[in-house]
Amino acid sequence: MVTEVLKPSMETLKKAAELIKNGEVVGIPTETVYGLAANAYDSNACAKIFEAKGRPQDNPLIIHISSLTMLKNSVREIPPLALILADNFWSGPLTMIFPKKDIVPDTTSGGLDTVAVRMPDNEDTLNLIEMCGFPLAAPSANLSGSPSPTSATHVFQDMNGRIPLIIDGGECEKGVESTVICFTDNGKGVKILRPGAVTEEMLSRFCEVETDKNVFAKPMENEKVISPGVKYKHYSPKAKIVIVETDNDKAFADFLNSREEENLYGVIFGNEKDIKVKTMSYGITAEEQAHNLFAVLRRTDELGADIAYVRCPEKKGVGTAVYNRLLRAAAFNVIKL
């Protein structure tokens, strides 16, 4: 299959909508990461997503909507709190989990009785969903296990020959996947299953918020997790990733300078001094770090790195999402200085 990469235009969106209506899979831009989109109500089309990604069948897909009508058509119950959160955070990087209607096939929900829903903040993608007239199931457009794609080039690296079309909407603004929440306390509170750009602080203006223990902990072998995508190893390049935790710039520089591995890179914030090994910077603010993280992880492979020591982000705000992804990229390998 030839994979076309086209800039968004009315013509491109029409072409994408035709392909999707015919049961095909298309790479789409969103504000979080690129998605691999198919008709969320078509079991065969969604099966193609799993095939293209090599994704385990039990890992459910998020469905992307362009209107509250699409939400109502897809789910059985909507707690009043969900509408308040939708009002405040949609279109945006917040995914909410609801009991699903039968119209959402088991293939989409990974066999669960629930479905995850969000409204993405990308005008072209919202228009595409409107043109299709049904929600688009779309997981991140990477091969399962590798770093998520934040540019059309990343999608092409992983999906060339596997899908007919990628819409090139430029770099994703946020750079990490959406915050995933489920409702607790009869719909009055929420639990964060995966942190993202909508933070605990932002949600706690509206309700009680708890964070699932698997966000930062390594799940036990065979443990049943609420959110199947938070499994152990994920987002990994070929290079071994090790997180180095310290708030002392000099200790970090001394640590890197003392390492003797060949093909070693330091992934730094960018304002550290006196580092003598090869480095890549992923940014000083949590927002910059989220925006750059996956691109930097992919770059370690392009540069042929064997090992990358990544400076640990601050674990607050969007930094919690960066840390959550890094922990999985590093298979929970953390050195504290």
Which residue ranges make up the site for Mg ion (CB under 5 A)?
140
Burial of 89 (0-12, 13-18, 19+ CB in 10 A): buried
How many residues make contact with ligand AMP (CB under 6 A)?
A: 21
Q: Which does 292 bind (CB under 5 to 8 A by kind): ligand AMP, Mg ion, none?
A: none
The one segment of 82-90, 113-121, 267-275, 308-316 that binds ligand AMP by CB under 6 A? 113-121
What letter would DSSP give residue 164? S
Share in percent of the chain as helix, strand, coil (round to 5) = 35, 20, 45
Alpha-carbon distance of 31 to 286, in angstroms, equals 16
Alpha-carbon distance of 268 to 219, in angstroms, equals 28
The minimum distance between CB 9 and ligand AMP, in angstroms, equals: 26
Q: Which does 180 bind (CB under 5 to 8 A by kind): ligand AMP, Mg ion, none?
A: ligand AMP
Give the residue ranges of DSSP H helices in 223-318.
249-258, 286-302
Alpha-carbon distance of 24 to 3, in angstroms, equals 12
Q: Which does 135 bind (CB under 5 to 8 A by kind): ligand AMP, Mg ion, none?
A: none
> Using CB atoms, what's the residue nearest to ligand AMP?
229
Among 104, 190, 192, 230, binds ligand AMP (CB under 6 A): 230
- 177 lies in the binding site for ligand AMP (CB under 6 A): yes
Q: Are 129 and 66 in contact (CB under 8 A)?
A: yes
Q: Which of residues 278-337 bind ligand AMP (CB under 6 A)?
A: none
Residue type, 199: T
The one segment of 85-93, 214-222, 225-233, 323-331 that binds ligand AMP by CB under 6 A? 225-233
Nearer to ligand AMP, 321 or 330 (CB): 321
Nearer to ligand AMP, 231 or 315 (CB): 231
- 97 lies in the binding site for ligand AMP (CB under 6 A): yes
Among 226, 277, 331, 334, binds ligand AMP (CB under 6 A): 226
Q: How many CA atoms lie within 13 A of 29 on its CB side?
A: 24
**Strand locations in the chain (E):** 4-6, 26-28, 35-39, 62-64, 94-99, 114-118, 136-137, 165-167, 179-184, 189-194, 208-211, 240-245, 264-268, 278-281, 307-311, 334-336
Q: Which does 175 bind (CB under 5 to 8 A by kind): Mg ion, ligand AMP, none?
A: none
Alpha-carbon distance of 218 to 291, in angstroms, equals 24
Nearer to Mg ion, 95 or 300 (CB): 95
- 219 lies in the binding site for ligand AMP (CB under 6 A): no
Nearer to ligand AMP, 97 or 305 (CB): 97
- 211 lies in the binding site for ligand AMP (CB under 6 A): no
- 109 lies in the binding site for ligand AMP (CB under 6 A): yes
- 140 lies in the binding site for ligand AMP (CB under 6 A): yes
CB atoms within 10 A of CB 120: 28
Q: Which one, of 89, 149, 75, lies nearest residue 119 by Cα?
A: 89
- 103 lies in the binding site for ligand AMP (CB under 6 A): no
Q: Which one, of 42, 32, 49, 30, lies nearest residue 132 by Cα?
A: 42
Q: Which does 49 bind (CB under 5 to 8 A by kind): Mg ion, ligand AMP, none?
A: none
The one segment of 17-25, 149-157, 221-229, 276-284 that binds ligand AMP by CB under 6 A? 221-229
Q: Write out the residues near ligand AMP by the rule CB under 6 A.
A: 59-62, 97, 109, 112, 114-116, 139-140, 177, 180, 193-194, 226-230
